[in-house]
């Protein structure tokens, strides 16, 4: 059991330190000896940098956490003796996707947390489920891949493992087509109104409908 826990800890630490930092990520930089500054949360800017006390800008995007820690240690050597630095990934940058089809106006761009699934995107997009053809959703990837999803089935089964197969990536385009016809009070009233109008016209022109 102890060996299993040790292996698990090693795998988790390896995954964290090998993670490549991205613009929009939130980082905490803990520096021994500068305790009063350790609660600051840094957001990686669009240019890939964070601005730190005493040393200014540091490029961190597209670098793993371990290499950034080493770079900061080298820079803080000018102010501290053998500085100890730990970088904590507080939150990953949100994922930005485009949703087309059923959404109002024909399409919109939304941001969802990293690790979100197609169901999270549907919920965040604000679409009216009764109007959407959930059984035939398409995810278009940057590399040209098209993934077909039966979200109606996912919602019905509520199988977390199955749902997690359809995680979203930044840059994905989600196409949700609109139902040709759906039942709601507005549609029923439109049909009744149209029927009444046809009957009036038929009577007006003395056309026997029997």
Strands 41-43 and 26-31: antiparallel
Of 193, 175, 187, the C-alpha closest to 130 is 187
Average pLDDT taken over every residue of the chain: 81
CB-based contacts of 175, cutoff 8 Å, min separation 6: 100, 101, 137, 138, 140
Lowest mean pLDDT of 2-6, 31-35, 171-175, name the range: 2-6
Per-residue confidence (pLDDT) for residue 17, from 0 to 100? 52
pLDDT of 86 over the 60 cut: yes
- 3-class secondary-structure state, position 28: strand
- pLDDT reported for residue 8: 36
Q: 13 falls in which pLDDT band (50, 70, 90)?
A: very low
Q: Calculate mean pLDDT across residues 6-33.
A: 69
Q: Are 40 and 83 within 8 A, CB to CB? A: no
Percent of the chain at pLDDT exceeding 70: 75
Q: Where are the beta strands (DSSP E) in the chain?
A: 26-31, 41-43, 49-52, 56-59, 85-91, 95-101, 107-112, 132-140, 146-149, 173-178
The two three-digit tokens of residue 85, written as one number = 């630095």
CA distances from 63 to 9, 141, 190 (A): 22, 24, 59
Which residue's entry shows tokens 């995680």?
167
Q: How many residues does the chain have?
A: 210
- Give yes or no for residue 45 having a pLDDT over 90: yes
Q: What is the mean pLDDT of residues 44-54?
A: 94
Q: Is the pLDDT of residue 128 over 50?
A: yes
Tell me the per-residue pLDDT of 67-78, one tens digit each, with 9 for 90 and over.
999 999 999 998
pLDDT computed for residue 14 by the predictor? 41
What is the distance between the alpha carbons of residues 210 and 201, in angstroms, rounded to a whole number?
15
Express each pLDDT in 154-210 by its tens digit.
Answer: 999 999 999 999 999 989 999 998 876 555 555 555 555 555 556 555 565 565 555
Provide the pLDDT for residue 2.
46
Q: What's the 3-state SS for 69-126?
A: HHHHHHHHCCCCCCCCEEEEEEECCCEEEEEEECCHHHEEEEEECCCCEHHHHHHHHC
Strand partners, 31: 85
pLDDT for the residue 10: 36
Whole-model pTM: value is 0.61
């Amino acid at each position: 059991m102890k060996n299993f826990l040790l292996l698990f800890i090693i795998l988790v630490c390896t995954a964290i330190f090998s993670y490549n930092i991205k613009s929009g990520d939130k980082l905490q930089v803990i520096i021994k000896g500068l305790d009063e500054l350790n609660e600051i949360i840094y957001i990686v800017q669009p240019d890939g940098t964070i601005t730190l006390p005493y040393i200014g800008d540091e490029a961190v995007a597209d670098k793993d956490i371990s290499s950034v820690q080493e770079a900061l240690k080298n820079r803080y050597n000018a102010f501290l003796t053998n500085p100890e630095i730990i970088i904590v990934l507080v939150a990953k940058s949100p994922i930005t996707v485009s949703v087309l089809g059923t959404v109002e106006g024909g399409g919109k761009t939304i941001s969802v947390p990293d690790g979100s699934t197609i169901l999270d995107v549907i919920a965040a997009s604000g679409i009216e489920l009764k109007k959407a053809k959930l059984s035939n959703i398409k995810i278009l990837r940057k590399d040209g891949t098209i993934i077909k999803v039966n979200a109606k089935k996912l919602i019905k089964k509520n199988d977390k493992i199955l749902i997690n197969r359809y995680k979203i990536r930044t840059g994905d385009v989600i196409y949700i087509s609109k139902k040709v016809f759906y039942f709601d009070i507005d549609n029923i009233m439109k049909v009744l109104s149209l029927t009444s109008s046809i009957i009036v016209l038929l009577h007006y022109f003395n056309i026997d409908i029997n």
